[in-house]
Structure 1
Amino acid sequence: MKKPNTFTIYNASAGSGKTFTLVKEYLALLLKSNRPDSYRNILAITFTNKAVAEMKSRIIEGLHVLSSENPDKKERELLTLLSRETGLSPEEVRIKSRRILKSIINNYASFEVSTIDGFTHRVLRTFAKDLDLPLNFEVELNTQEVLTEAVDRVINLAGKDASLTKVLVRFVLDKTDEDKSWDISRDLLNIAKLLTEETSRPYLELLKNKSPEDFQNLEKFLKKERKSVETSCVSIAESFFGLIESRGIVDKDFKSGYCSKFFRKILDKDFSQKLDNQWQLNIESQDLYAKSLAAGKKEALDELQPQIATMFLEVKTNILRMQFLEAVEKNLVPLSLLSAIQNQIEEIKKENSVVLISEFNSTIGKAVKDQPAPFIYERLGERYRHYFIDEFQDTSELQWENLIPLVDHTLSVEHLSEETGSLTLVGDAKQSIYRWRGGKAEQFMELCGEKNPFNIEEKQVVVLPNNYRSARNIVNFNNDFFKFSASCFDHVDHQTLFENSGQQPTTEKDGYVNISFVEAENVEEEMEVYPQRVLEIIRNLEAEGISKSSVCILTRKRKEGIAIASHLSENDISVISAESLLLNRSPEVGFINDLLLFSLDSADRELKFQILDFLLNDRIETDNAFEYLSSRLDLEGQAFFDSLKGQDIHFDLEVLTSLSVYEGVEYIIRSFGLVKGSNAYLQFYLDFVFEVSSSAASGIFEFLELWERKKDDLSIVVPEGEDAVQIMTIHRAKGLEFPVVIYPFANSPIQDTGREHLWMNLPEDLSSNIGVAYLKASEKMKQWEGEAPHLYEQLCHNSQLDALNVLYVALTRPVD
C-alpha cells in the first residue's frame, strides 16, 4: 500500500530547536529512500546565505556523525532517534549514511539548500527567453542605487521634456509653499521605492499607463470638489446663525459656548477643528444649554436641537470629506512621476543588462502563472518531491503564490516506486519582523489554522514546546511577560498567539533577568542617560569576570547604536558594530579617497588639509605642525606633493591619473606605505575597487560617485575571537543568540503609524480615470467613509503585532 504525501507545519518558537528538527527530518528522508542520491529531489529553502551555510553544514555533519563507528553519547542520541524514526537498525543507518555522504560530496551542486532569492534566480534564468530578458543578465542587488540614478535622470529631464518639467516645477513650488526644502530628490526617491514593493504592485498596475494629464485632471476635480464642500459648510453655518437669531438665541446661551464657537469658526473657514468632543458626540441627546439659562430660551433650544444636530452632522460629514480630498491630493504630484521614474529604471536595466533582485518574485509570477507544473519542472531540469521551507513567517505572499503550483503538483500526484511527496514548513508568527519587506505573520497563522491551499486532506501542525536556548528564569520571565502583554492587542488572533506562546525550559541553569528604569525628560537626555547606564552594566559584568565578547547590545534604531558605541569607545570599551566595521571609518581608506578627489580638484583647501592632517599623524615629523600645514594649503597640483619630498614622500600625480582606478589605489598604498601589517579595511576596500573596475569601465570620478552611494553599506567581516562588545539592531540579531543581552531604549510605542501610508481605492465619484490613491495614515481615517476605517484599523493591528514581535525577538536572544 502506497504511503500518502504529507504536509507538515512546525510551529517553532524561539530557541525550540527548529534547525535541529529540520535537519533531522531531512536526514530521515534521505535514509528512508532506497537511492543514495535522493537529495537531488529535495529542495530546502531558507532566507539568508548564513542560514543556508548553517543548514548545509548541519546536514553534512549529521551524516558524518551517523557514519561514525564510535559515536560519543550525544552522537548516539541522534543515531538512536533516526533509527527509531526510519525503522532501520543502527548498522543500516551507518552504511546508508556513508553512501549518501559520498554521493553528496561527488555531486555537491545537486545538494540543493538555497535562499528563496537563489531559487527564484534559477527559475528566472530558465525562463529568461520567455520573459524577453538578456540571456546573460546580471542581478542588481542594490536596488536603492538604481532608484537613485533613475530619480536623478528624471530631474535632469527638466527643461527638455515640457510636460515633465511642468510637473517637476509644480512639485518644487508645492514644497516651498509648505516651508520645506525645494530639493525634491529625496521625496521622489521615497515615492520611487513603491516601485520595488510587492504590496504596491497591484495598485501600480492600475496607474501604469496614466499620463501626467490624467493626474492633473483629477487634481482639478479634487480642488473643485473641495471648494464646493467648503462653500456648503459656510452656507450651513450661516443658516445656523440665522436660525438661532430668529429665536433670540445668542452665543453665550450655549453651554460653554462650544456649539456657537464651532459654527463661528466654520464661518471663518477654519476646518481644522476636532470632531469627537463629548458635546459633539452627544449633540442629538444632551442639553445644549446650561441649567441657569432662562426657561423660555431652554424651550427654544430644545425645539431647535434636532435642526442644530442635523446641521452639525452635515458640517462634520463635509469636513471629513475635505480631509479625504486633501489627503488624496497630497501625493498626486509625486505619484504622477512614477511612470517617468519607471521608464528610467527600464533604460538603466537595458543599458547594463541587469534585473533588479526586488523584481524577482513578480517576474517569476508572470513566468509560472497559468503554466502546468510538469512543464515548469521540465524547464528546471529537476523533479522535486520534497520541499522544506524555513522561516516561513518571512515569506511574502507573492513568493508563496509562486511556490504553490510546484508544491501542489508534488502533493497531488502519486510518485513512482516507494517514493512520496512532502512539504515541511517551519516558522514562528511571533518572529515575523519583516512586514516592510513583504513578510506576513498572518499567512503562517492561517496555515497553522484551517487554511490549506493544496489538494491533500491531511495537514499536520506540530508545536515544538521546549526552549533549548535560554536559562530557566529567562524562559519563565518571557512566558509571563508575553502572556500578560497579549492584552494590549485589539485583534483577537494576535491575543491568542501570545497567550499560547509559553515554552518549557530544558536547562538547569537559573539565568538572570533585570529590568531597570532611567529618568529622561526628552530624546536628548535619553541619548546621554542610556549609554551611561549601559556602560555601568558592562563594568559590573567585567567585575564578575564576564568577557566583553559575551555581551550584545540590541537597539531598534541605528542612531541609538551609534550613541552607545561612541560612549563605550570613549570609555575604552572595545566595540564591534555595523558602524565600527564600515570601510569609511578607516583613516587609510579616507586618505586614499581624498587623494583620488585631489586628482580631480587640486585647488580644494579642505582636501589638502585632510591629506596633510593624516600624514602629520603618521608619516611627517615636524616641530610646528600648524606652520607646516598652513604653508602648503595654497600649493596646487604636483607642487603640493613636491613639497613633501623632504619627508621622503615621493608621489607623482600624473602617474596616478594615467593608471586604472585599481592600479592607482595600489600606487597610493605603495607610495605612502599604508600597509604596515594586516589591515582588513584596506583589503576589503581593494576588493571593492577591483569589483567596480572589473564590472564597468569607470574612471576616478565614476568610482568616487559610486563610493558615495555605497559607503554606508560597505563593511568588513566581524573579526573572530576579538574581546569586544557587539552592538546590533534587533533585525540583524534575529536567528542569533548571546550569553548576555542588554536592551536599552526599550520604550517603543506599541502602536506607531506616524510614518505609514495606505493604498486605497477611490470612490466611484472620484475614480473617473485614476482609480487609486496613496495616503498618509492618520487617525482621522477612523471617521471617513468607505474602506478607510477598515484599512486604518488593519494597519493599527499590524503595527501592534510588529512592535511586540520585535520585542519578542529581542528578549529571546539571551542564553544566560
Structure 2
Amino acid sequence: MTEILKASAGSGKTYNLARKYISLLLGSGEPDAYRHILAVTFTNKATAEMKGRILKELDILARTPERSPYLPDLMRETGKGAEEIRRRAGWFLRAILHDYSSFSVSTIDKFFQQALKAFTREIGFFSSYQVELDRDSLVGEAVDRILDTLPSRGEDLVRWVNENMADRLAVGDRFRLDASLQETASRLLSERFDEAARAAGIDPRAAFSAENLRTIRAACGAIIDDFRARLRAAAQELAGKLSGRAASQLEPYLKAYSMTEKIPYPKTKTLLKDADGTPFAFLLGEPYKIYLTAFNIREQTYALGFARDFRAEMEQLLREKNVLSLDDSNALLRRIIDGSDAPFIYEKMGVRYRHFLLDEFQDTSIVQWENMLPLLRETAAGGGTNFVVGDVKQSIYRWRDSDWRLLASEVEDRLPDCAPPVALRGNWRSARSVVEFNNGFFRFVADRLGIGEIYSDVAQEVRSDEEQPGCVDVVFVEGLRGRKNPEAENAAVLEAVGKALAAGALPSDIAVLVRTHNVGNRIADYLLDHGLSVVSDDSLGVKNAESVTCVVARLALLLNAEDELARYVLGDLEIEVPPGTESLLGLVEGVVRSALAVRPEWRETETQYLFALLDIVQEWATVNGNDLAGFLEYWDSRSDLEISSPDDVQAIRIMTVHKSKGLEFPCVIVTDAEDYEVKTGKWAWCAPDMRDGLLPPALATAIYPVPFSAGETPRTRFSAAYDEEYALSQIDMANLFYVALTRARKSLTVVSILPSAEMRKACAAERETGEPAAAELTKMPEFLYFYFGGAGPWRLGAPFDYGRLRREARTDRRLEAVYESIPLGGRLT
C-alpha cells in the first residue's frame, strides 16, 4: 500500500522515516530484507543522518530495547515481543555492517545514476562515463562549436543568422548572438521544455525546423504589419482629438489605454475617454493582444532556429567526452524506460526493491516522479509499502523544477491502494512562543493569499519539553525612500546578536538567515567589523581562499607572463613551478607544494581549500584533459565552489535560507524580510491561447520561451500562463519565509523595513473599519505589518536564558556515538 505522511517543520520527520524502515526490517521474515528496502533522500547530509539514525536505533534495540522510544510502536506494528525485537535488531545490525554496500539509503540522484548505469548500452555511452555537474560549460562549448562551424552547416542556417542580425540592427537592438543562443539552449534542455512540449502535443524536431519557423515568422509578420497599418489609419481619423499628435507618438497611449483605471493624470484620462467608440479604441482591445502575442513569438523564433543543430551538437559533445550532465540524466532515463514495466527495470539493475521510503517528496520533479512511478506501482501491487513523506509548505526549489503539486494530489491519484494522508501535528523543535507565532502568522498569510488548502496543516501543537516559553522579536526599521536600509538592518542584526550572547548563547548557537549571498556578505562584513567571529557562504568559498587565489595566479602566469592581475595577487610571493610535470593535476599539485613551502602557516588554515582545489582539478581533467587554459577559463566561470561548513566551529553562521533547509539553531535571526516577495519567473515555455480562432493555426505548431513582464504579458494570449506563474510565485514567497522562520528552536528575530506609506495607510484603514484592505500584499514586510496591525516593535514570550539551558541540558553524546564503537567481537558473531 501507499502511505503519505505530511510532516511540517519540526514534527519528527526523520524519526518517523527511521521508525518505518526499522519496522519493515524487523517485521520481515527474510534474512536479507535490508537489501529490498530503499530509502530515498535529497542530500548527502540527509542520507548520512538517516543511516546514522537507523544504525543507532538498531544498536539500542539490540542492547537495551527498553531505552528505545521506538519500542512501543515497533511492537504494535510488527506484532513481535520486546525480546524478539531485541534478537532481530542485533541480527540485522550485524548483517548490515557485514554487507554495508547493500544498505540502500541514498539520494534520489544517486539512485537514478545507478539505474542509468544499467542502460549504458541503450544510451550509447561507455559504462565508465562521468557525471558532469556543470551543464552550463557543456552548453557553452556546444554553442561555440556551432558558431565556429556555421558556414559548413548549410545555407539555410547562414541565411537565418543573416536575417536575424539584419532585423536586430534595423530596430537598433544591442545583441550578442552567442549569449542569446546559450540562453535558449539552456532552456531547451530544461525539464520544463519537455513537459510543455508533451502538454502541447508537439514534436520539437518538426516544430523547430527551418521551414516551420519561417511559416511562423511570416504569420507573425502579417499580424504585425496589418495591425500597424490599421492603427495608422485609425490614428489619422482620431488626429483632431489627439491635438495634432503624429501617429508615431502613439506608442505610450497603446499601453496607457489598457490601464485606464490606473492612469492618475486627468488630461490623459480625458484624452483616452475621447477615443472611446472609435476604431482606435477597438484596435487597443483584442487586436492589440493579438499584436503583442505575435510580436513576442517572432522575437523568440530567431534563437529557436538553432534548436535542431544544438541538440545534435550537444549529443555529439557528450559522447566525445563520455560524460552525462546530471541535469539531463533524469530526462534520458525517462525516454529509456517510458512504457517499460518494473520487472524489466529491476532485471537491468540487478536488484529488486519491495519497499520504498521517499523523503522530501515536495522537492521531486515531474520527470523524477515519472521515472519512479513504474517501481512504486509494482511495489503497491505486490503487497509492498510506499512511504511518502513531505511538506508542501517547505517546497522552495521550484526553480530547479520541483513540483509540490505531486505531493498535494498526484500521488493519491496515480498510485493504487493509497491510504488517506496523515499529518503530523506536533512540533518537537521549537519553544512555545516560536510555534504559536508561526501558527498565527502563517494562517494569516494563507488567508490573505487564498492558499488555505495548501497551508491547512500549518497549525502545530507544542511538543518541546522546554520549560522556557522562548521569544519572538519582530523589528521594523525605517526604509530609505521606501527601499532597503542596509545600515539600519545591519544594526538591528548586531543588536539581536548582542542580546543572544548576553543571555548566554554561544556564537555557534546563532544563525543569521538571508535571502541572497550579497546580503549575507554585507552582514558578515558588518559583524566582523564589530569583532565577532563569522562563518558565511562567502568565507567557505574555495575561490576566496588566499592560498587558492595565489596558486591559480601562479598558474595564470604560466600562460601569460605579463598578466598584471596575477602578478598583483602574488605580490612578492615566490612560488616555484616544478619542472617536468606531464599532467594538469601533477602541475597543480607541484604548485600547491611550493606554495605550502613558502607559506607554511597555510598548512594550519588553508589545507581544506587546497584539497578542494585539487579535487576540482582532477574532476575537470578527467573529462577535459590536460588543458591549463581551458581549466582557467572554467575556473573563472564558476562562483559556487565551496567547502562544507565545519560543525564544531565557534562562530555565528550566516547562510541563505535554501542552505538552512533541514537544519535548526537555538537562535535564528531572519533579516531583510523585504527580499521575500512575489517574484515571477523570468520566462516560461508557453503555447498561445488559440481557442477563438483569431490567431493563425501556424502559431500552434510550436511552443515558445516567452519572457514574463507584469506590464505586458497579461495583455497577450500568454496571460493564462502568466497568471499561473504569478499564483505559484505567491506560494514560493510564503514557503521560503516559512522555512526561514521554522529553523528556530529557542528564539527568533525578524528584521524588516517598514512597508510603504501607502500600505501603512491601508493597514490603518483596515484596522479602523475591520474590513480587509483592497491593497494586494506582495512582500513579507507588508504581511508582518498587517498581521500586527502596526509597526511595533513586537515581542512574544520572554528573552531566552541560554545559560540556564546549558546548566540543565542532558547530553546524548554517548547515544550518538554508540554505533560507531560497537565492539569488534560483536560484529563477527
TM-score relative to the length of structure 2: 0.81
1:229 aligns with 2:189: no
Q: CA deviation at 1:276?
A: 3.6
1:112 aligns with 2:104: yes
Aligned equivalent of 1:789, options 715, 719, 722: 719
Aligned equivalent of 2:706, options 760, 769, 775: 775
In the alignment, what sits opposite 2:36? 41
Unaligned runs of 5+ in 1: 1-5, 242-249, 252-259, 282-286, 291-300, 414-419, 616-648
Q: CA deviation at 1:181?
A: 5.1
In the alignment, what sits opposite 2:752? none
Alignment partner of 1:740: what SS? strand
TM alignment of 1:259-658, pairs within 5 A: 268=250, 272-278=254-260, 308=277, 312-413=281-382, 420-447=383-410, 451-456=412-417, 458-490=418-450, 494-507=451-464, 508-521=467-480, 526-613=485-572, 615=573, 651=576, 655-656=578-579, 658=581
In the alignment, what sits opposite 2:204? 207
In the alignment, what sits opposite 1:133? 125
> Any conservation in 2 of the 1:173–1:182 contact (CA below 8 Å)?
no
In the alignment, what sits opposite 1:29? 24
> Any conservation in 2 of the 1:151–1:189 contact (CA below 8 Å)?
yes
Alignment partner of 2:478: what SS? coil
Change (3 A) 1:598 1:563: same
TM alignment of 1:662-673, pairs within 5 A: 662-672=585-595, 673=597
Alignment partner of 2:414: what SS? coil
In the alignment, what sits opposite 1:704? 632
Q: Deviations for 1:391-442, whole angstroms, at most 9, x for unmatched residues? A: 11111112112222221122224xxxxxx31111101000111111121112
1:12 aligns with 2:7: yes
In the alignment, what sits opposite 1:760? 687
1:733 aligns with 2:660: yes
In the alignment, what sits opposite 1:80? 72
Aligned equivalent of 1:57, options 46, 52, 58: 52
Change (3 A) 1:76 1:609: closer
Aligned equivalent of 1:743, options 654, 670, 695: 670
Alignment partner of 1:16: what SS? coil
Range with greater deviation from structure 2 (512-521 or 133-142)? 133-142
Q: CA deviation at 1:537?
A: 2.2
Instruction: Give the fraction of aligned pairs with identical amino acids, expressed as a percent.
Output: 29
Alignment partner of 1:714: what SS? coil
Alignment partner of 2:471: what SS? coil
Unaligned runs of 5+ in 2: 264-268, 747-829
* Alpha-carbon separation, structure 2, partners of 1:151 and 1:524: 40
> Any conservation in 2 of the 1:548–1:723 contact (CA below 8 Å)?
yes
Q: CA deviation at 1:332?
A: 1.9
* Alpha-carbon separation, structure 2, partners of 1:267 and 1:77: 76
Change (3 A) 1:576 1:190: farther
Change (3 A) 1:88 1:134: same
Q: Deviations for 1:697-732, whole angstroms, at most 9, x for unmatched residues? A: 31432332232233x222222233211111111111
Alignment partner of 1:584: what SS? helix
Q: CA deviation at 1:807?
A: 0.5
Change (3 A) 1:532 1:269: closer
Q: CA deviation at 1:274?
A: 2.0
* Alpha-carbon separation, structure 2, partners of 1:772 and 1:422: 40
Q: CA deviation at 1:266?
A: 8.1
> Any conservation in 2 of the 1:240–1:308 contact (CA below 8 Å)?
no
Change (3 A) 1:118 1:261: farther
Q: CA deviation at 1:543?
A: 2.6
Q: Which amino acid aligns with 1:472?
A: R
Aligned equivalent of 2:644, options 717, 721, 728: 717
TM-score relative to the length of structure 1: 0.82
Alignment partner of 1:753: what SS? coil
* Alpha-carbon separation, structure 2, partners of 1:134 and 1:45: 27
* Alpha-carbon separation, structure 1, partners of 2:221 and 2:70: 71
Change (3 A) 1:175 1:105: farther
Aligned equivalent of 2:737, options 768, 785, 807: 807
> Any conservation in 2 of the 1:736–1:813 contact (CA below 8 Å)?
yes
Provide the aligned length of Structure 1 versus Structure 2.
724
Change (3 A) 1:604 1:78: closer
Q: Deviations for 1:434-493, whole angstroms, at most 9, x for unmatched residues? A: 111121112211158xx421333x523111010001111000000000011112324xxx
* Alpha-carbon separation, structure 2, partners of 1:728 and 1:310: 57
* Structure with greater Cα Rg: 1
* Alpha-carbon separation, structure 2, partners of 1:715 and 1:46: 22
Q: Deviations for 1:235-290, whole angstroms, at most 9, x for unmatched residues? A: 3344556xxxxxxxx74xxxxxxxx5799768856663323455799xxxxx9999
Q: CA deviation at 1:499?
A: 4.6
* Alpha-carbon separation, structure 2, partners of 1:208 and 1:401: 23
CA RMSD of aligned residues (A): 3.1
Alignment partner of 1:739: what SS? strand
Q: Deviations for 1:196-234, whole angstroms, at most 9, x for unmatched residues? A: 321211456633343345434432432232111111223
In the alignment, what sits opposite 2:813? none
Q: Which amino acid aligns with 2:708?
A: A
Q: Which amino acid aligns with 2:414?
A: P
Q: Which amino acid aligns with 2:343?
A: P
* Alpha-carbon separation, structure 1, partners of 2:174 and 2:726: 31
Change (3 A) 1:339 1:526: farther
> Any conservation in 2 of the 1:207–1:770 contact (CA below 8 Å)?
no
> Any conservation in 2 of the 1:233–1:266 contact (CA below 8 Å)?
no
> Any conservation in 2 of the 1:44–1:389 contact (CA below 8 Å)?
yes
Q: Deviations for 1:324-359, whole angstroms, at most 9, x for unmatched residues? A: 122112222222233333233212201111122112
* Alpha-carbon separation, structure 1, partners of 2:30 and 2:93: 12
* Alpha-carbon separation, structure 2, partners of 1:45 and 1:187: 38
> Any conservation in 2 of the 1:157–1:165 contact (CA below 8 Å)?
no
Alignment partner of 2:40: what SS? strand
Q: Which amino acid aligns with 2:730?
A: Q
Q: CA deviation at 1:39?
A: 1.6
Change (3 A) 1:155 1:592: same
Q: CA deviation at 1:769?
A: 8.1
